[in-house]
């Protein structure tokens, strides 16, 4: 096979690697949205508080105290529901959940001409030349 055939095989390999990289990034972004540590911590904290309130409710006999605990329990249930709604909305709407920014650098000499802008850390040098 000539050089042009090897170039096609190399390009196909690079294309496949890029497709796999994009799929990996999508999966990681979805996972990051569904496993938001701050939301998960808030939900877990509310669930623990709910258990404490249920335990206090079972052990009290005073009607006013029971009314207060029932109101607190309703409030906690409402908050848990709202945080779960937020998580579902993020999973549905925010497919790309960026928590960071990549910075890429390209260094060249003044003799290299025709370099285009860099996109996603890749520079297409197929139309560049050296003077």
Strand partners, 113: 129
Instruction: Give the mean pLDDT of 57-75.
Output: 92
pTM of the model as a whole: 0.44
The pLDDT assigned to 110 comes to 82
Q: What is the pLDDT of residues 102-114, one digit of tens each?
A: 667 677 788 888 8
Burial of 121 (0-12, 13-18, 19+ CB in 10 A): exposed
Every domain of the chain and the residues it spans = 3-100, 101-131
pLDDT number for residue 130: 84
């Amino acid at each position: 096979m000539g050089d042009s055939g090897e170039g096609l095989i190399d390009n196909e390999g690079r294309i496949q690697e890029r497709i796999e990289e994009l799929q990996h990034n999508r999966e990681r972004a979805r996972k990051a949205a569904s496993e938001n540590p701050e939301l998960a911590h808030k939900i877990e904290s509310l669930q623990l508080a709910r258990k404490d309130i249920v335990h206090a409710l079972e052990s009290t006999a005073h009607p006013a105290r029971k009314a207060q605990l029932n109101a607190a329990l309703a409030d906690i249930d409402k908050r848990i529901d709202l945080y779960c709604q937020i998580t579902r909305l993020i999973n549905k709407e925010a497919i790309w959940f960026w928590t960071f920014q990549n910075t890429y650098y390209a260094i060249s000499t003044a003799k290299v001409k025709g370099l285009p802008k860099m996109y996603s850390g890749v520079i297409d040098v197929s139309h560049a030349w050296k003077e």
